[in-house]
Amino acid sequence: MPELPEVETIRRQLAPHLAGRRIVAATVLDSRWCEPAAPSELADAVEGREVLAVGRRGKYFDVDLAGEVHLVMHLRMTGNLLLVPPGDEQERPYVRVRFELDDGATVLFADPRRFGTGLVLLGDSARDEYFAQRLGVEPLSADFTAAALQAEAKGRRSPVKAFLLSQERIAGVGNIYADEALFRARIHPLRAVGTLKRPQVEALHAGVIESLEAGIDARGASIDDFRHTDGARGSFQDRFMVHRREGEPCPRCGTEIVKLRAAGRGTYICPKCQPRPRARS
């Protein structure tokens, strides 16, 4: 499932091709994509409009169109945005939505499992409200500080991994980057987040940022369906420190990495670097 670095990778690839272009046609082939809006409503809202910028908030794309019209898209499990150059007639599988641009290029939303979504929000304030209701702090922004993380964690008994996965706490972190951040910070995923001491909160803050930046540097992780706008794969899956490396040596101490379940997800740790929290007496 694409997380912040994968979405940011696509955003960076799309932005220079979309900014300043006009959407001449928007064809929603699978009406489930934009439910409850009808495909014609979505098309009417975006057709003829110039793309001012391609933004991102958490795992959402925010395509900023002229007149404060926002096309907000989410890839969910298996969605991909593909950029097809003018004149390329090759068929792509699983296409659910097609955006034709005024230079002849096409942006396709392809999605084999069909969980991806799109919607239109009218007005910057509607966009701000939509994200504010769903998303916490943006982890690569100046608002994400160790002090802010500590304030958010205070008094909470939820396991730190579940906390990291909560989009309304920290936007954009998913299973891969939570595992990598906890390993960097030497914190066990089942530790109650409110019990972390200040140095651990600081280590976790740094670990989240470092793992997300490493993912962006590698242009995302392609462990399943994630692809770049030209169909190429990311390379972060080759740089995981613990995620999906069960039975392999810890890159720090050589202990065998183990898999456990935390927050309902397959979770990978070094049992020596990330000791299990002691039971409270």
CA distance 54 to 13: 10
Give the integer Cα–Cα distance in Å for 243 and 183.
9
Among 224, 253, 256, 275, binds Zn ion (CB under 5 A): 253
Q: Verify binding: residue 242, Zn ion, rule CB under 5 A.
A: no
Closest Cα to residue 123, out of 70, 74, 63, 72?
70
CB of 256 vs Zn ion, minimal distance in Å: 9
Residues assigned a catalytic role:
2-3, 59, 265
Check binding of 252 to Zn ion (CB under 5 A): yes
Helices and strands counted in the chain (H then E):
7, 10
To Zn ion, the closest distance from the beta carbon of 128 in angstroms equals 42
Strand bridging mode 69-74 / 117-122? antiparallel
Q: Is there binding between residue 4 and Zn ion (CB under 5 A)?
A: no
The smaller minimum CB distance to Zn ion, of residues 13 and 267, is found at: 267
Identify which range of 18-26, 54-62, 239-247, 253-261 contacts Zn ion by CB under 5 A.
253-261
121 binds Zn ion (CB under 5 A): no
272 sits near Zn ion (criterion: CB under 5 A): yes
Q: Please count the residues of this chain forming the interface with Zn ion, following the rule CB under 5 A.
A: 7
CA 59, 65, 69 angle in degrees (round to 5)?
85
Q: Is 97 in the site for Zn ion (CB under 5 A)?
A: no
Burial of residue 183 (CB within 10 Å: 0-12, 13-18, 19+) is buried
Rg of the chain (C-alpha set): 20
Pick from 203, 208, 241, 250 the residue near Zn ion by CB under 5 A: 250
Interface residues toward Zn ion, by CB under 5 A: 250, 252-253, 255, 270, 272-273
